[in-house]
């Protein structure tokens, strides 16, 4: 019934003198309904978010001010002590560099390939749905299964990738021990999973671009590449921003891939010398292996801030990039 009143024309009812008070009360209700209902409708999301998102976020912040062991009943307040420790913690910086390196190695190729893939899928193909579903398949497959398969492929001694490299006359690569190689291997895993997914999102946006723009440009003599750069790319801007921001958030939280990549099953070390330990993996290790919950909370907050900063930078960069494309 509340919805019915809301559908009545917008202007607020004018109160007439001499009307019975009940009518005034009803007017007031209608007025509140009109003002408050939209908020009520979206409230469930924010309530759930407050419980499972905001509260843990704030509580983690509170916890990060304590020196708290997992089985410790009496945590001691240390203020910003955990954060100061973090600044001097070599392993943390190492894991941050690892994370950024894996992030760059995965996000940049991933989005580039996704846009290219979308452009290909947007051309006239036989059985378009079949092609579209097939690029999504890696995303559907279980992440854990993928992790195990890829860790096997990249095995240093008996892995398939090294076998192929050797047949091609190239040197074997120690995918576990070498820092950059391990990052590349993990990035391949991430890309394998996410490229198709992003390609479909970009494809949806591409299909929403009006055909007449392309036709007009064709009439003006623009080639396919020129049309792609000057029409498709600028009009993809909002979608690209979305894709870049979500993959930034995901890319900086990579956890399962490096965990499963480690030769030692169940290990959180990220390699013998932490050469591919990401920040989330280090956070998990601090919380549940070395059992320092306060310290792990501090890591979580720093990671949160890093993600916000990088997502913002990416947002601005993407806007700029797509803008300049439109000016031409």
Partner 1 sequence: MRRAVALSVAITVVGGTLAACGAGDADTGADGKVELSIGTFTEFGYEDLLVEYQRLHPDITIKHNKTGQGGPYHQQLFTKLGANRGLEDVVAVEEGHLSDVLAKSRLFNDLAEIGPKDVTADRWLDWKYKAGTDKNGALIGYGTDVGPLAMCYRKDLFEAAGLPSDPEAVKPLFATWESYFAAGDQYVAGTGKAWFDSDAQIFNAMHNQLPTGFFTTADSLDIESNRDIRANWDAVTAAGARGQSAKLTAFSNEWNSGFKSAAFATKTCPAWMLGVIKGQAGPENAGKWAVTAAFPGGGGNWGGSYLTVPKQSAHPREAAELAAWLTAPEQQVKAFVKTGNFPSQVEALSAPELITATDAYFGGVESGKLFAEQAGKVAEPQYKGPGDGRIQETVTTPALQAVEQGTSPAEGWQRVVDGAKKIAG
Containing H/E element for 77? strand 76-77
Cα dist from 32 to 12, 40, 46, whole Å: 10, 11, 20
- Least distance (Å) between residue 243 CB and partner 1: 24
How many Å apart are CA 229 and CA 206, to the nearest integer? 12
Q: Which of 271, 280, 300, 307 binds partner 1 (CB under 8 A)?
A: 271
Site for partner 1 in 217-256 (CB under 8 A): 255-256
How many Å apart are CA 316 and CA 47, to the nearest integer? 30
- Least distance (Å) between residue 49 CB and partner 1: 16
Residues 110 and 197: beta-carbon distance below 8 Å: no
Structure tokens at 298: 């501090």
Site for partner 1 in 36-95 (CB under 8 A): 70-71
Give whichever of 228 and 284 is closer to partner 1, judged by the CB atom: 284
Q: Which of 61, 156, 163, 250 binds partner 1 (CB under 8 A)?
A: 156
Q: How many other CB atoms are found less than 10 A from the CB of residue 324?
A: 11
- Least distance (Å) between residue 61 CB and partner 1: 19
Tell me, residue by residue from 136 to 155, as one string, x for binding to partner 1 by CB under 8 A and - for no binding: ------xxxx-xx--xx--x
Site for partner 1 in 281-310 (CB under 8 A): 285, 288-291, 293
For position 268 contacting partner 1 by CB under 8 A, the verdict is yes
How many Å apart are CA 162 and CA 174, to the nearest integer? 9
Length in residues, the chain: 328
Phi first, then psi: what are they for 3, rounded to 5°? -65, -35
How many Å apart are CA 146 and CA 97, to the nearest integer? 24
Binding piece for partner 1, criterion CB under 8 A, among 31-39, 75-83, 209-217, 262-270: 262-270
- Least distance (Å) between residue 157 CB and partner 1: 5
Residue with tokens 């917008």: 10
Give whichever of 157 and 167 is closer to partner 1, judged by the CB atom: 157
Structure tokens at 85: 């420790």
Give whichever of 68 and 227 is closer to partner 1, judged by the CB atom: 68
Strand 66-67 and strand 76-77: the pairing is antiparallel
The closest alpha carbon to 251, from 136, 132, 125, 100, belongs to 100
Q: Compute how many residues bind partner 1; rule: CB under 8 A.
A: 38
- Least distance (Å) between residue 95 CB and partner 1: 14
Q: Which of 2, 170, 224, 264 binds partner 1 (CB under 8 A)?
A: 264
Residues of this chain that bind partner 1 (CB under 8 A): 70-71, 142-145, 147-148, 151-152, 155-159, 174, 176-177, 255-256, 259-260, 263-269, 271-273, 285, 288-291, 293
């Amino acid at each position: 019934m509340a919805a019915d009143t809301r559908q009545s024309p917008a202007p607020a009812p004018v109160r007439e003198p001499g009307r019975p008070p009940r009518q005034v009360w009803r007017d007031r209700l209608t007025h509140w309904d009109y003002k408050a209902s939209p908020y009520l409708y979206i409230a469930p999301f924010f309530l759930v978010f407050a419980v499972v998102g905001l509260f843990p976020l704030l509580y983690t912040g509170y916890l990060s001010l304590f020196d708290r062991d997992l089985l410790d009943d009496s945590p001691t307040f240390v203020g910003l002590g955990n954060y100061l420790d973090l600044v001097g913690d070599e392993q943390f910086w190492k894991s941050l560099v690892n994370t950024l390196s894996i992030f760059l190695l995965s996000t940049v190729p991933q989005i580039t390939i996704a846009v290219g893939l979308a452009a290909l899928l947007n051309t006239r193909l036989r059985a378009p749905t079949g092609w579209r579903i097939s690029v999504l398949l890696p995303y559907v497959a279980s992440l854990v299964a993928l992790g195990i398969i890829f860790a096997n492929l990249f095995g240093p001694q008996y892995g398939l990738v090294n076998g192929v490299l050797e047949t091609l006359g190239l040197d074997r690569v120690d995918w576990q021990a070498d820092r950059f190689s391990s990052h590349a291997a993990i990035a391949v895993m991430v890309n394998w999973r996410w490229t198709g997914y992003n390609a479909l999102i970009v494809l949806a946006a591409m299909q929403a671009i009006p055909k007449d723009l392309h036709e007009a440009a064709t009439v003006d003599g623009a080639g396919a590449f020129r049309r792609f750069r000057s029409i498709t790319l600028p009009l993809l801007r909002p979608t690209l921003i979305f894709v870049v921001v979500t993959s930034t958030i995901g890319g900086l939280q990579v956890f399962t891939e490096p965990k499963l990549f480690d030769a030692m099953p169940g290990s959180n070390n990220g390699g013998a010398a932490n050469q591919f330990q990401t920040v989330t993996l280090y956070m998990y290790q601090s919380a549940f292996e070395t059992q320092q919950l306060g310290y792990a909370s501090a890591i979580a907050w720093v990671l949160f801030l890093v993600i916000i900063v990088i997502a913002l930078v990416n947002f601005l960069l993407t806007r700029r990039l797509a803008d300049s494309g439109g000016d031409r």
